[in-house]
Chain A
Amino acid sequence: MGSGGFAQDEPISIFPEEPEPFEGPEFGSSPQTPIKLTSRLSTSDYAFRAIARGGGLLVLVLMIAVGSFLAFRATQALGRAGFSFLTTQDWNPDGGKFGIAAMMVGTVLIALVAICVAVPLSLGTALYISEYAPRRIQRLLVSMVDLMAAVPSIVFGLWGFFFLEWRMTSLSRWLNDWLFWIPLFKVNGVTRNYTGPTATFYTSSSFIAGVVVALMVVPIATSIMREAFSQAPAGEREGAYALGATRWGMISAVVLPFGRGAMIGGTMLGLGRALGETIAVSLIISPVFIIQPHILQNGTSSVSSTIALHYAEATPFGLSALFAAGLALFIVTLIVNFGAAVIVSRSRSGAISEA
């Protein structure tokens, strides 16, 4: 920097060979000792830090209050039910028989259907936007995906309830006809030769609810994946092309490995959303409190829709039981979300989009 006057044959280094002794005694005897820097906050900075810390603490207290209140209210029901809370299928808190087995299975199945539908869709959309779409419409497409995330869940729910439900039954029938040997796709009461009216066997199923929830998962997963794909380094892309790769060759060798963490993370964030979805699910499914492993069959249940349907007539103990179910759902969602956050932040791209 300041030592600009070297001749060409001298070695260029930041520190000269013979350090000149410092003049002032306050710098210590050795020039290598770092200078102590102390900063004094001004009054306004103190005030700023105090206010910011206060705000942060307030948010912290609020959030912890919500979480601990959930746990606190849940203890009454959990204490009475004990371990059977996890294994009972029925939901009759005042009769003493209640548990989340059926609800949790329903919730997880709906979420899994949603994920199975949403992941190929969002992977394709993210790849389309970042790799295939013309540059001109790229920003428009990104906006449309963001818009999809902002569309209220009730709108998707109405669409699923009035439009999709009756049109999906034929697809459900088809899946059932050909895949009935997989227990998941079995429907009790219908065989391939059954000729009676079948539509009512297939409505209100976890499959249809899952497909509708998938539409809400797609924008979340897509925006995270697209963010990561578009950050794949240009040098490696061009390297792949220069080695003769086709576009898919380039994507599978560079873009997908680069975005793998974001793909997993985005999927898991979407799973978190799918587990907690309330309104669309409760519009579509018809609640049944037995474990329903057949996703095509009418009738299932989910934790959040149970809360939405039962809170009003609940006794204080019933409310406590609802809190316990909600707590279980919250814990599952929390685990999924933290897993997602860890995976996304560990990936090379490190792109965490706004949820």
Chain B
Amino acid sequence: MTTVDSAPGTTIPPRPVGGRPPQRRQLTGVRTTDMLALVGALAAAFCTTGLLWTEVSPFSGLIGYVVMTWFLFVLYYAVLVSFDQDGPAVRDRVVSVIVHSLGALVLLALVYVIFYTFFRGWAALHHLNFFTQDLRTTGPLSPLTQGGVRHAILGTLIEVGIAMGISVPLGLLAAVYMQEVPGTLSRFVRTVVDAMTALPDVLAGLFIYATLILFLRRGFFGFAAGCALAVTALPIVARAAYVVLRLVPGGLTEASYALGSGQWRTVWHVTLPTARSGLATAVILGTARAIGETAPVLLTAGVSAYINFNPFSGPMMSLPLLAYISVQSPEKAEIARGFGAACTLLVLVLVLFFGARMIGGRGAGQLTPRQQRRRALGSRRDLARFERYQIMRPPADQTGYPEEAEA
């Protein structure tokens, strides 16, 4: 790519005589021409599309208008920039505009989906009875001042609790196994877990439906839904936890081994505490995923309109299922209930998500200021303890510290 010039010295091009005095180039910041090009291209694109839409061709629809405007905008912008920039700079500008608008589109879509759900659900949400009643006396035609989703909230919490009670300990144990006990078997477990993350969620529901529901012949019940969610969540939790455990710096564990501690002690006192925040994030995100799954619940939990505390008998409603069923009704109130249930679900997910961000969100070994203070305090305490040892023991005895009692 680079050919070395054979000229012996550095060639300095002669400065043009009588030209403008050299100006310092501005490398950063926004120039006026850039802003003008942006605004001008946008205005021109908007107007051209308007012309196309109203005068030239029978187009219609807002989305089409926006899409057309955007394409014209990029085109005009490229032309405007090419007036005073060369090829690579034009390409750079155009790509920059495209990347910015794609990023903005995705974030807008996310924000809009969330706001739209709240907007449609507000009709149901602002009645307090929506959270304090169930639907046992409420039909599709009842007004929104009657009935609520208390049974579905409770059902969701119980089912997800069961699912997490099964999948979190097992998933973490499997992750520790995959990380700490190497070998053919552990690689095989890892492959199978990887494969099962590909299991479509509806198949987990179908599996539990065919085993627990049809085999036991006792109808739908909440525990089955918990199991179905656990089958969905188990590979996700195991894999995410494994990824987190792998990020624990090798120096820490090796230091622990070098100090003479065994594997169990290293895992319990070094690996797991270091990865704690990451593991919490993995677990909470797994929970958020499990809460939002509709298909496994649809196949296993059944539909009910009343509160059921017992997960082992009788159908148990859950929020995503309630939303799914309600919105298929033609009644306005029922659709509003469906959106209200979706909002409640979304709030649960948001709470979990921000909880996860508060606990985790930092890499293995990075400590909050409070954790750092606590750790410094602990190590000062250790130092004081060692000094007490020195005082109690005669200095001639150099055998070291007494052996730790075997657990």
Given contacts A55-B173, A247-B92, contact A66 B181 (CB under 8 A): no
- Do residues A352 and B243 form an inter-chain contact, with CB atoms below 8 A? yes
Check: A69 CB closer than 8 A to any chain B CB: yes
Within 8 A of B (CB), among A271-317: 272, 275-279, 283, 303-304, 307-308, 311
Within 8 A of B (CB), among A37-82: 41-45, 47-49, 51-60, 62-64, 66-67, 69-70, 73
Check: B174 CB closer than 8 A to any chain A CB: yes
- Do residues B267 and A48 form an inter-chain contact, with CB atoms below 8 A? yes
Given contacts A218-B106, A278-B202, contact A132 B99 (CB under 8 A): yes
Number of A-B contacts (CB under 8 A): 303
How near does chain B come to A116, taking the closest CB pair, in angstroms?
14
> Which of B58-66, B146-154, B387-395 forms part of the interface with chain A?
B58-66
Cα–Cα distance between A283 and B234 once the two chains are bound (Å): 27
Contacts of B239 in A (CB 8 A): 354-355
Q: Which of A43, A49, A127, A167 contacts B61 (CB 8 A)?
A: A167
Cα–Cα distance between A264 and B338 once the two chains are bound (Å): 37
Check: B170 CB closer than 8 A to any chain A CB: yes
Contacts of B377 in A (CB 8 A): none
Cα–Cα distance between A73 and B196 once the two chains are bound (Å): 18
Contacts of A131 in B (CB 8 A): 99
Within 8 A of A (CB), among B274-299: 282, 285, 288-289, 291-295, 298-299
- Do residues B63 and A152 form an inter-chain contact, with CB atoms below 8 A? no
Check: A158 CB closer than 8 A to any chain B CB: yes
- Do residues B406 and A152 form an inter-chain contact, with CB atoms below 8 A? no
Contacts of B60 in A (CB 8 A): 170
- Do residues A55 and B177 form an inter-chain contact, with CB atoms below 8 A? yes
Check: B262 CB closer than 8 A to any chain A CB: yes
Check: B375 CB closer than 8 A to any chain A CB: no
- Do residues A272 and B64 form an inter-chain contact, with CB atoms below 8 A? no
Q: Which of A51, A55, A133 contacts B103 (CB 8 A)?
A: A133
By a beta-carbon cutoff of 8 Å, the part of chain B in contact with chain A is 59-64, 67, 88-89, 91-92, 95-96, 98-103, 105-107, 109-110, 113-114, 116-117, 120, 169-171, 173-174, 176-178, 180-181, 185-186, 188-189, 192-204, 206-207, 209-211, 214, 231, 234-236, 238-240, 243, 262-265, 267, 282, 285, 288-289, 291-295, 298-299, 320, 323-324, 327-328, 335, 338-339, 342, 345-346, 349-350, 352-353, 357, 361, 406-407
Given contacts A147-B353, A354-B239, contact A334 B198 (CB under 8 A): yes
- Do residues B198 and A336 form an inter-chain contact, with CB atoms below 8 A? yes
Q: Which of A58, A123, A132, A158 has the most CB of B within 10 A?
A: A158
How near does chain B come to A136, taking the closest CB pair, in angstroms?
15
Contacts of B407 in A (CB 8 A): 44
- Do residues B262 and A56 form an inter-chain contact, with CB atoms below 8 A? no
Contacts of A355 in B (CB 8 A): 197, 236, 239-240
Besides A171-B64, A171-B67, A354-B236, 5 other A-B contacts (C-beta < 8 A): A56-B189, A152-B320, A154-B345, A159-B116, A326-B203
- Do residues B103 and A153 form an inter-chain contact, with CB atoms below 8 A? no
Check: A322 CB closer than 8 A to any chain B CB: yes
Given contacts A59-B171, A161-B327, contact A155 B203 (CB under 8 A): no
The list of the 6 closest CB pairs from A to B, nearest first, reads A124-B102, A170-B61, A152-B292, A55-B173, A276-B200, A128-B103
Within 8 A of B (CB), among A97-137: 120-125, 127-129, 131-133
- Do residues B198 and A337 form an inter-chain contact, with CB atoms below 8 A? yes
- Do residues B353 and A63 form an inter-chain contact, with CB atoms below 8 A? no
Cα–Cα distance between A80 and B403 once the two chains are bound (Å): 69
- Do residues A162 and B120 form an inter-chain contact, with CB atoms below 8 A? yes
Given contacts A44-B265, A45-B262, A128-B102, contact A354 B243 (CB under 8 A): yes
Cα–Cα distance between A336 and B59 once the two chains are bound (Å): 39
How near does chain A come to B131, taking the closest CB pair, in angstroms?
19
How near does chain A come to B406, taking the closest CB pair, in angstroms?
7
Cα–Cα distance between A314 and B61 once the two chains are bound (Å): 42
Q: Find the A residue at minimum CB distance from B296.
A: A278
Check: A258 CB closer than 8 A to any chain B CB: no
